[in-house]
Chains A and B, each alone.
Chain A
């Protein structure tokens, strides 16, 4: 069995999708691609079905917020694992905060269901096509997305939570 390399995966994706692969980097030996959010599901399907690559395991979906990147403030990050080849890759889809829509991966991976709910819960990324996109960890009444970098840091002068009050 031949083990696939990062370069092999990148070349195969670039041949198939061309401009939808916006940039590629290999930080710490892990192939990281920035992709066109609209093509996400096609790219994931291709990675899943390709007889050589077989990225059949979705390790994680998470989000991040870059308030300074105008027009692409939010980012959905996908980690997929090819168990047969023991290769992991990371895909990033940058989204505008005004319209943070990205296709849901639930048709492809059942495990995406809760991961996407969690990412929606904390960052407000809308996964279109998700069967039940509601909050999963926070209270249902919450009307904000707590991990967005929109909130001031704690006032450094407050004194009501110092160690001495807690026996520490």
Chain B
């Protein structure tokens, strides 16, 4: 691959002139955040295997700025939940989410994380959105790596366009309090 094949992220809309470029702080921060998301993989089953392929060199999630997998929630921006979450795992998942610093996003990978999937039973959580708010859902049983990448790019889109004040808004606080957070 020659350097000509490498594209860099396009600049946000703004006013350009001789020697200067003006845009909003919000867009600049969004651009920086979206291209340096540090994911925390919370992988419990077969979707986790697909996620490993997504991280590997063939699919290469690192292209999107997610080079560093964070196994500490304190240094992660994006929680990727891949796999069946048993009801007993629910409080642990919530604790991991609470330990992440704001701003934080959640990507739900696979039918089980989204809805319980085929495990329509007494021991399995019927979707992680029962315990934590979810930003993007990736369906599939399990989803292919392309789908997971698509999900990550959807998260990037959300991050890019998120207003700086969103996390202080009453709507966001109401969302968190509906999950019993704060």
Residues facing A in B8-40 (CB within 8 A) are none
Q: Within the complex, which residue of B87, B88, B139 is in contact with A167, where a contact is CB–CB below 8 Å? A: B139
| Given A138-B88, A166-B111, A168-B141: A161 touches B118 (CB 8 Å cut-off) | yes
In the complex, what's the smallest C-beta–C-beta distance from A16 to chain B, in angstroms?
A: 42
Does B141 contact A167, Cβ atoms closer than 8 Å?
Answer: yes
Chain B contact residue count (CB 8 A cutoff):
13
> A166 to chain B: which residues have CB within 8 Å?
111, 117-118, 139-141
In the complex, what's the smallest C-beta–C-beta distance from A23 to chain B, in angstroms?
A: 34
Does B117 contact A146, Cβ atoms closer than 8 Å?
Answer: no
Residues facing B in A141-165 (CB within 8 A) are 142, 146, 154, 161, 165
Interface string of B107-135 (1 = CB under 8 A from A): 00001000001101011000000000000
Interface of B is mostly: loop
> A167 to chain B: which residues have CB within 8 Å?
111, 139-141, 143
**Does A3 have its Cβ within 8 Å of any Cβ on chain B?**
no
**Does A1 have its Cβ within 8 Å of any Cβ on chain B?**
no
In the complex, what's the smallest C-beta–C-beta distance from A76 to chain B, in angstroms?
A: 22
Q: How far is the CA of A146 from the CA of B143 in the complex (A)?
A: 31
Does B120 contact A161, Cβ atoms closer than 8 Å?
Answer: yes
Q: Within the complex, which residue of B87, B117, B120, B123 is in contact with A154, where a contact is CB–CB below 8 Å? A: B120
> B123 to chain A: which residues have CB within 8 Å?
137-138, 146
Q: How far is the CA of A5 from the CA of B90 in the complex (A)?
A: 50
Does A146 contact B141, Cβ atoms closer than 8 Å?
Answer: no
Q: How far is the CA of A79 from the CA of B118 in the complex (A)?
A: 33
Residues facing B in A77-97 (CB within 8 A) are none
Closest to A138 in B: B123
Closest to B116 in A: A161
> A142 to chain B: which residues have CB within 8 Å?
122
Interface string of A127-142 (1 = CB under 8 A from B): 0000000000111001
> B88 to chain A: which residues have CB within 8 Å?
137-139
Closest to B147 in A: A167
Q: How far is the CA of A137 from the CA of B141 in the complex (A)?
A: 25
In the complex, what's the smallest C-beta–C-beta distance from B127 to chain A, in angstroms?
A: 13
Q: How far is the CA of A148 from the CA of B140 in the complex (A)?
A: 32
Closest to A154 in B: B120
A/B interface sample: 28 pairs, CB < 8 A = A137-B88, A137-B123, A138-B87, A138-B88, A138-B122, A138-B123, A139-B87, A139-B88, A139-B90, A142-B122, A146-B122, A146-B123, A154-B120, A161-B118, A161-B120, A165-B111, A166-B111, A166-B117, A166-B118, A166-B139, A166-B140, A166-B141, A167-B111, A167-B139, A167-B140, A167-B141, A167-B143, A168-B141
Q: When A and B form their complex, which 6 residue pairs have the shortest distance between CB atoms, in order from nearest?
A: A166-B141, A146-B122, A167-B140, A166-B111, A139-B87, A139-B88
